[in-house]
Amino acid sequence: MTFLRRWLILSHRYLGIALSLVFVVWFASGIVMIYAGGMPRLTPQLRLERLPALDLSRVRLAPTDAAEQATLGRIPDRVAVLTIMDRPAYRFPSGAGPTTVFADNGEVLEEVDLEQARTIAGRFMNLPVDDIRYVRTLTQPDQWTLIQGRAMPQHKFRVDDEAGTELYVSPYTGDVSVHTTRRARTLAWIGTIPHWFYFAPLRLNAALWTRAVVWTAGLGCVLALFGLILGVIQFKRSRPFAASIPYAGWMRWHYITGVIFGVFTLTWAYSGLLSMEPFEWTTRTGLEVSRDVFTGGPLDLSRFPAVDPAAWDRLLGGRAIKEMELVRIQDDPYYVVRLARDEQAGVPRPERLHQPYNVTGVAEPDRLLVAANTFDVRREPFSADSLMARLRTALPDVPIVESQVLSEYDSYYYSRGRQTPLPVLRVKFADPEETWFYIDPQMSQLLARVHRLNRVERWLYSGLHNLDFSFWYNRRPLWDIGVILLSLGGLASSGIGLYLGIKRVRRGVKGVVRSPRSSDAIQPVPEGVSQ
> Does position 347 have pLDDT exceeding 60, yes or no?
no
- Provide the terminal-to-terminal Cα distance of the chain, rounded to the nearest Å: 52
Integer Cα distance of 432 and 285 in angstroms: 11
What average pLDDT does this structure show over 56-78? 90
pLDDT grade, residue 526 (50/70/90)?
very low
Cis peptide bond N-terminal to 153, omega within 30: yes
pLDDT of residue 527: 46
Q: Are the CB atoms for 336 and 324 separated by under 8 Å?
A: yes
Residue 90: pLDDT over 60: yes
Q: Given its phi and psi angles, is residue 280 left (phi above 0), alpha (psi -120 to 50 degrees) or beta?
A: left
pLDDT band at 248 (very low <50, low <70, confident <90, very high): confident
Percentage of the chain with pLDDT > 90?
70
Closest C-alpha to 443, from 299, 316, 335, 302: 335
Question: Left, alpha or beta for 318 (phi > 0: left; psi -120 to 50: alpha)?
Answer: left
Q: What is the pLDDT of residue 10?
A: 92
The stretch 131-153 carries a mean pLDDT of 93
- For the stretch 453-507, pLDDT in tens is 889 988 988 889 988 887 887 777 898 999 999 999 999 999 999 999 999 988 8
Give me the pLDDT at residue 348, please: 52
Q: How many CA atoms lie within 13 A of 481 on its CB side?
A: 5
- With cut-offs at 50, 70 and 90, classify the pLDDT of residue 247: confident
According to the per-residue pLDDT averaged within each range, which of 37-41, 299-303, 314-318, 362-366 is highest? 299-303
Of residues 26 and 74, more confidence is placed in: 26
Yes or no: say if 129 and 58 are a contact pair by the CB < 8 Å rule. no
- Contact yes or no for 168/148 (Cβ under 8 A): yes
Cite the DSSP H helix spans in 155-248.
Answer: 182-190, 192-196, 200-203, 206-233
Mean pLDDT for the chain overall: 89
| pLDDT per residue as tens digits for the range 150-182 | 889 999 999 999 999 999 999 999 999 999 999
Q: Can you give the pLDDT at residue 350?
A: 54
CA angle 408, 77, 146 (to 5 degrees): 75
Order across the sheet with 367-371: list the strands.
99-102, 87-92, 79-84, 321-329, 332-339, 367-371
Q: 72, 92 in Cβ contact below 8 A?
A: yes
pLDDT confidence bin for 388, thresholds 50/70/90: very high
Poorest-pLDDT segment among 59-63, 413-417, 447-451:
413-417
| Lowest-confidence region among 231-245, 319-333, 405-419 | 231-245
DSSP at 60: -
- DSSP 8-state code for residue 332: E
Give the pLDDT confidence score for residue 359 in this predicted structure: 77
**Domain ranges in the chain?**
44-180, 292-450
Q: Compute the distance between CA of residue 117 and CA of residue 155 in angstroms, rounded to an integer.
A: 7
Evaluate the omega torsion of the peptide bond into residue 201 and state whether it is cis, within 30 degrees of 0.
no
CB 275 within 8 A of CB 230: no
Q: Are 336 and 325 in contact (CB under 8 A)?
A: yes
3-state secondary structure 459-513: HHHHHHHCCCCHHHHCCCCHHHHHHHHHHHHHHHHHHHHHHHHHHHHHHHHHHHH
Who wins on pLDDT, 14 or 512?
A: 14
The DSSP output letter for 377 is B
Do residues 57 and 254 touch, judged by C-beta distance below 8 A? no
3-state secondary structure (DSSP) of residue 228: helix
List, as one string, the DSSP characters of 411-425: SSS--TT--S-SSEE
Residue 515 has a pLDDT of: 65
pLDDT at 346 over 80: no
Q: Residue 406's pLDDT is what?
A: 96
Q: What torsion do the CA atoms of 454, 460, 464, 470 make, to the nearest 10 degrees?
A: 50
Predicted pLDDT of residue 531 = 33
d(CA 95, CA 242): 67
213: pLDDT strictly greater than 90? yes
Report pLDDT for 530.
36
> Of 82, 67, 60, which Cα lies nearest the Cα of 338?
82
